[in-house]
Structure 1
């Protein structure tokens, strides 16, 4: 008697793999899927910016992409050790290229506050842990692995696939703006994927609640709060102390919150959240979008703002980032500065911000100044200061459209990969290097291509930054299918 054979399709295999990955208490680097091992290797190349040293990643990636059949360029910048990496997989040229852009640099760390070496790429308890795991070496690993897998499959392509590992995204003059001015032909494309929107998991069920795809970024603007006083010997303090005056002004800013300000994308985003939420959040999201009743709007704002990400999306935000006062231990300085960093909804002017803060502080001895010539930041180099000022003066660019083949493919395969989730456009709460393309009329869509929880998100730019291995696996499947949808010959 012939035994019965049981078959399962690839969707069932993927589901089984994800369950096993989530349930595994410990996962060594040798046992981890290739995309997780790849991310671990990327994290081990320390590209904390400053100084960046992104060439470490470029030199690591070059032989891998060459062996897979890509044309490779390493674009050196004037700063030693800082390079952009570009790999192109040729198609038949029927259509313009699709670009995958991911930044190689990461922010620095407070090593003593980590439970593991932040640059060891530790794989433990179902996570890859290390600086950049979320922002954005995790995305770089997924994008790169997807492109490499497609190259190795020998699929015929109607368009080139360009992979870009960027330098200086975390604040510097040699970012994609610099690259686009000098080597535009190498990164010109029909549309691009970059960092941006989130795939958000429920903390308890681990089900994906929504997939947000960013079509625009908030702008970063800096103002200087400058308090004036009498400079004198510290043994004879006077009432008009500049530092105390600045402290009082900052206390007012700290107790203040800007009003909700939604655009078309954020209205659709919050409506989608209402559609997938339970009461009372469901009604609160709808009240926020409607904005008709001031009392309901205030209550909705208070409840929704318990989530720091959602609080940031719905308004202009204010964060003090640097203080600068004094030059000797026995001298009371005549002025004291604080740099305020604003992340603003596109369309907000710096004049509006100055008027808003000046009215709030309400002190004639405190000026609110545009940071046009020098940020009050002794850490930043003159080049970084100039880059920050230039970024603040960028004109607003239109949101990327929802009608492009790439957006439609992202929405389709996000839904197929995470069937329980809603897919929505989104205004990214921070900034990215997408401006180099959006300002030239090329649509850019942002996504962190892996499901994460709100708790995971708090670790981004923080301590013990991590990404679930299972999320890397499902994100790789999604990005690969998106690329095949828009690039492969059908």
Structure 2
């Protein structure tokens, strides 16, 4: 009886302590990961440089990176732009038997609205297994992963068949002295057989398992349109029902309530077909219908269900169509004057194969107001614009039969065995065109698995990336470089 009672007590004790013990073990694993991750520590340091664009400076960050790579024995250089910003270049020398591979990551970040943050966005705070800060995900996290992977080649004395170039860029978020300026003036320093940049997403499911690695081979085409409304200027004490502002606000209200139809090309069809192979029902069937549908009504319904059921609704919504987003509004010269004009900027991201003129015509029908003029915001002439967008539309995607793509594919499967690796379209834009325009294949990746909440914090408050994802991404990029550049 006594043994039975003791057994019961022991069993109850073990049962009641099991979950707290598991939590304690998990917490300890997280703590060890936080304190031992060299990539996370590097990211913390990078986040402490306020490189906001506009308003910040990339020179201090470039000088910090130079010290790290000088200590590793790399050839290094800082190139200061006419505006005082800085590009940093480090080169690990190979034996020259193959052309270099380049890893490019921008140092500048979008500004932070500090009032919306729970932590200082430039303090490099670690919280609950995540590094928080402006640029943690876009793209100082990627810069930290790329830099650590290259430094590991030097630390491990990996013999190289080709140079490995690491580039920390300025003026990606805005400005005239980004990679296009760098390529025009210093091409010999960044010329390579192929390049790795920001781009594709690495998806996690609800259980934290990595299910898909997207390697982007092309970006959506960036277009800004300008809406201009005209009206009669007069004193604000005598308001009118018809004014420039009223015309513009009604137009914007219509646009925000409207959506473009799904517009897919061969690349995005194959992408959604690949997603269907790893998704669960009923999402898998809707993804397949979206990939294979022909009729507009079929695509609309499939697209609606994919967004409704998907783990990444905003991302998948953007990838299946030309997106239209009002981003800037400007009107008025004084608070007691009803202005004679009002303007808004509409940012459009085109699926390759579409043109801005198609979207402009759709918007004119939606707005349906002769007092609102819709035109390209670029300032280019019509002939210049048509030539530019024809070139962008006809530019081929980077091929998937190169050594770099194969190395990315193999290393991804090595780190995440259950994940499917697929070439993809990037729903935004990058500065990879500096290489693509010169015939150099560019592959894009945000080199860390992430969930939808992390994705939606990009450019938002409490931007973050998990330390575990940083570690896994560093391993994947290091293995990629060993495969593509090692002898």
Q: 2:113 aligns with which of 110, 114, 122?
A: 110
Distance 2:227 2:197 in 1: 34
CA RMSD of aligned residues (A): 2.2
Q: 1:250 aligns with which of 252, 255, 258?
A: 252
Q: 2:270 aligns with which of 240, 245, 268?
A: 268
Q: What's 2:51 paired with?
A: 47
For structure 2, the 5+ residue unaligned runs are 1-22
Q: What's 1:395 paired with?
A: 392
Q: What's 2:416 paired with?
A: 418
Q: What's 2:430 paired with?
A: 432
Q: Please report how far the alpha carbon of residue 71 of structure 1 lies from its aligned counterpart in structure 2 after TM superposition.
A: 0.4
Q: Please report how far the alpha carbon of residue 235 of structure 1 lies from its aligned counterpart in structure 2 after TM superposition.
A: 2.0
Q: 1:215 aligns with which of 214, 217, 235?
A: 217
The alignment status of 1:229 with 2:226, answered yes or no, reads: no
My pick for the range that moved more, 234-243 or 24-33, is 24-33
Residue-by-residue CA offset, 1:319-340 (whole Å, 9 max, x unaligned) = 1111111112222111111110
SS at match of 1:395: helix
Q: What's 1:447 paired with?
A: 445
Distance 1:20 1:101, change over 3 A: farther
Residue-by-residue CA offset, 1:179-206 (whole Å, 9 max, x unaligned) = 0000000000000110000111113x10
Distance 1:339 1:99, change over 3 A: same
Distance 1:444 1:21, change over 3 A: farther
Distance 2:439 2:267 in 1: 18
Distance 1:367 1:202, change over 3 A: same
Question: Relative to total residues, which structure has the larger helix share, 1 or 2?
Answer: 2
Q: What's 2:473 paired with?
A: 475
Mapped contact 1:91–1:158 kept (Cα < 8 A)? yes
| TM-score, normalised by the number of residues in structure 2 | 0.90
Q: 1:157 aligns with which of 155, 160, 169?
A: 160
Aligned residues: 456
Q: Please report how far the alpha carbon of residue 29 of structure 1 lies from its aligned counterpart in structure 2 after TM superposition.
A: 9.7
The alignment status of 1:369 with 2:372, answered yes or no, reads: no
Distance 1:344 1:78 in 2: 32
Q: What's 2:42 paired with?
A: 38
Q: Please report how far the alpha carbon of residue 87 of structure 1 lies from its aligned counterpart in structure 2 after TM superposition.
A: 0.3
The alignment status of 1:466 with 2:443, answered yes or no, reads: no
Distance 2:26 2:252 in 1: 45
Distance 1:110 1:202, change over 3 A: same
| TM-score, normalised by the number of residues in structure 1 | 0.89
Q: 2:198 aligns with which of 183, 195, 200?
A: 195
Distance 1:45 1:389 in 2: 40
SS at match of 2:430: coil
Distance 2:168 2:287 in 1: 37
Q: Please report how far the alpha carbon of residue 354 of structure 1 lies from its aligned counterpart in structure 2 after TM superposition.
A: 1.8
Q: Please report how far the alpha carbon of residue 366 of structure 1 lies from its aligned counterpart in structure 2 after TM superposition.
A: 0.9
| Within-5 A mapping of 1:254-333 | 254-306=256-308, 307-333=313-339
Q: What's 1:383 paired with?
A: none
Distance 1:335 1:389, change over 3 A: farther
Distance 2:336 2:116 in 1: 34
Residue-by-residue CA offset, 1:453-480 (whole Å, 9 max, x unaligned) = 0111111111111111011111111100
Q: Please report how far the alpha carbon of residue 349 of structure 1 lies from its aligned counterpart in structure 2 after TM superposition.
A: 2.1
SS at match of 1:96: coil
Mapped contact 1:22–1:126 kept (Cα < 8 A)? no
Distance 2:450 2:414 in 1: 18
For structure 1, the 5+ residue unaligned runs are 1-18, 375-387
Distance 1:141 1:21 in 2: 28
Distance 1:395 1:196 in 2: 17
The 4+ residue runs of structure 1 with deviation greater than 6 A are: 19-22, 388-394
Distance 1:63 1:136, change over 3 A: same
Q: Please report how far the alpha carbon of residue 359 of structure 1 lies from its aligned counterpart in structure 2 after TM superposition.
A: 1.7
Residue-by-residue CA offset, 1:33-54 (whole Å, 9 max, x unaligned) = 1111011111011111113411
Q: Please report how far the alpha carbon of residue 237 of structure 1 lies from its aligned counterpart in structure 2 after TM superposition.
A: 2.4
My pick for the range that moved more, 299-308 or 183-192, is 299-308
Mapped contact 1:372–1:389 kept (Cα < 8 A)? no
Q: Please report how far the alpha carbon of residue 209 of structure 1 lies from its aligned counterpart in structure 2 after TM superposition.
A: 1.5
